[in-house]
Structures are given as C-alpha cells and as structure tokens.
C-alpha cells in the first residue's frame, strides 16, 4: 500500500477553454500506455449526476455571472468529492491518474479563492499540474465563441488567475500557442523525468 502511494502520480492539465487540454490529455494517455504504464484518464466535470448537472448549467447564458459562478463552485466541489473515490481506487491499484481539469480550475474560474479552497478542503490536490498557456484571442477563435464561457473578458480574468496560481503552486507552464505536436512534446518533457521515461534521449 505504502509502495503504491509512493509511485502514485495524479497529473492534471489545466488552462482556459480551448487551451488544448482534451486534445493533449488523449495524446498523453496514449503515450503513457505505449510506455507501459497503467493509466486512468478522468475528466472534470465527471459523468456523475452532479457532473451531468454542471455540464447542463454551463450552457446557461448567465453562466459567467458571479452568483451563478458560486453555484457552479459548490457543484464542482461536490463532483470532485465524488471523483476522489475513484482516484483512491485507482491509486490502490497503482495506476497513474491523468485528469482534464482539477481543483485548480475552480480556483481559476470561481471566487473568492479562500472560499473555493475551503469547500474543496477534503479534495486531493494533483501531484503535478501542467498549465497550457494560450492567448485569449486564440482561445476564443479556437472555440468559435459559441458560449458564454468563451467570452474574451471572462477568459482574460481566468487566464490571469491561472498565471497567478502558477507562481504560487509551481505549475509547469507550457506555451499552448504552438502546434499540437510541439505541445505534446513539451508535456512529455515535463512528465517523463517524473516517471523515469526516456524521451528524445532525455531521461
Ligand atoms: N495546439 C493546437 N493548435 C491548434 N488548434 C488546436 C491545438 N490544440 C487544440 N486545438 C483545437 O482547438 C480546439 C479546442 O481544443 P480542446 O478541445 O483540446 O481544448 P480544451 O482545453 O479541452 O477546451 P475546453 O476547456 O473548452 O474543453 C479543438 O478544435 C482542437 O482541435
Ligand atoms: Mg476540453
């Protein structure tokens, strides 16, 4: 049990809407599997009843309003508590868990941060956080501005929060303006040494 815990890695990709998290988490998953690791891919919001509700609420045109964001903050905290069970399970099997978003998304998107931290007090924090850093303009154009969340002003604030968090919490920041393959290479270069994988001749 102790041995499993030492080897366990809970890795997450963070970044604003359109930063490339879903694209990159799949590439990361395939690469880790190819490297012979046992991996579980999780996504926030999850497919739990709370996660389903969150996805529905994110479609609401008022989704970026402060009160609505507070409700989302509470729901995300609940959804994440449910996810913790699964993470504990995978941990006990010695698997690596890679996650598309985490507690830090709540810290970047919702506020005030002290309250978000408090309601997420019992949530497991990732061992390794990779922030995909993308210009807001590019993010909006990638997402075609289809919903409220992709509005520029909102994403600019979230981006600023992410960069502030990255200083405090030692995130690995990757330039997500680059092409898919280059971003994947940069992610591998961060993860490989943590897991003792050889990549591009670097261990
Ligand atoms: N490096 C890249 N260069 C150009 N386009 C990209 C890149 N990475 C992803 N894309 C494209 O940008 C769009 C958004 O990517 P993706 O869905 O991976 O972002 P995301 O961070 O998961 O967004 P969300 O937070 O909204 O789920 C997709 O159409 C994807 O194909
Ligand atoms: Mg996504």
- Report the separation in Å between the CA atom of 20 and the middle of ligand 2, taken as the mean of its atom positions: 7
pLDDT score recorded for residue 152: 86
**Sheet containing 128-133, strands listed edge to edge, beginning at the edge strand earlier in sequence:** 39-43, 96-100, 10-14, 128-133, 172-175
Surrounding residues of ion ligand 2, Cβ less than 5 A: 21-22
pLDDT at 156: 94
Q: Which atom of ligand 1 is nearest to the CA of 150?
A: 26
Determine the distance separating the centroid of ligand 1 and the alpha carbon of 20, expressed in angstroms: 4
Query: C-alpha distances in angstroms, 71 versus 68, 148, 162?
Result: 5, 16, 20
Question: Over 50: is that where the pLDDT of 4 sits?
Answer: no
Tens digit of each residue's pLDDT (9 = 90 or more) over 180-189:
999 999 999 9
Residue 82 and residue 193: Cα distance in Å, rounded? Answer: 30
Phi, psi at 25, each rounded to 5°: -70, -35
List, for residues 130-171, the tens digit of each pLDDT value: 999 999 989 988 887 555 555 788 899 999 999 999 999 999
Q: What separation in Å is there between the alpha carbon of 77 and the centre of ligand 2?
A: 19
Q: For residues 172 and 24, give the distance between their C-alpha atoms in angstroms, rounded to a whole number.
A: 15
108 has a pLDDT exceeding 90: yes
Q: List, in order of start, the domains of the chain with CATH numbers.
A: 2-195 (3.40.50.300)
């Amino acid at each position: 049990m102790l041995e499993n815990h030492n080897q366990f890695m809970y890795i997450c990709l963070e970044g604003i809407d359109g930063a490339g998290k879903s694209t990159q988490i799949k590439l990361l998953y395939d690469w880790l599997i190819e490297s012979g690791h046992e991996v579980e891919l999780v996504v926030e919001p999850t497919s739990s009843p709370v996660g389903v509700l969150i996805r529905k609420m994110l479609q609401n045109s008022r989704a970026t309003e402060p009160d609505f964001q507070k409700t989302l903050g509470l729901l995300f905290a609940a959804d994440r508590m449910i996810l913790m069970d699964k993470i504990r399970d995978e941990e006990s099997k010695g698997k690596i868990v890679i996650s598309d978003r985490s507690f830090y998304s709540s810290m970047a998107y919702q506020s005030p941060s002290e309250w978000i931290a408090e309601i997420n007090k019992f949530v497991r924090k990732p061992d390794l956080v990779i922030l995909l850093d993308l210009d807001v303009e590019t993010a909006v154009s990638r997402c075609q501005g289809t919903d409220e969340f992709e509005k520029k002003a909102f994403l600019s604030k979230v981006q600023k929060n992410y960069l502030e968090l990255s200083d405090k919490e030692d995130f690995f920041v990757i330039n997500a303006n680059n092409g898919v393959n280059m971003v994947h290479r940069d992610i591998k270069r961060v993860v490989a040494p943590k897991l003792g994988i050889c990549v591009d001749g670097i261990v």
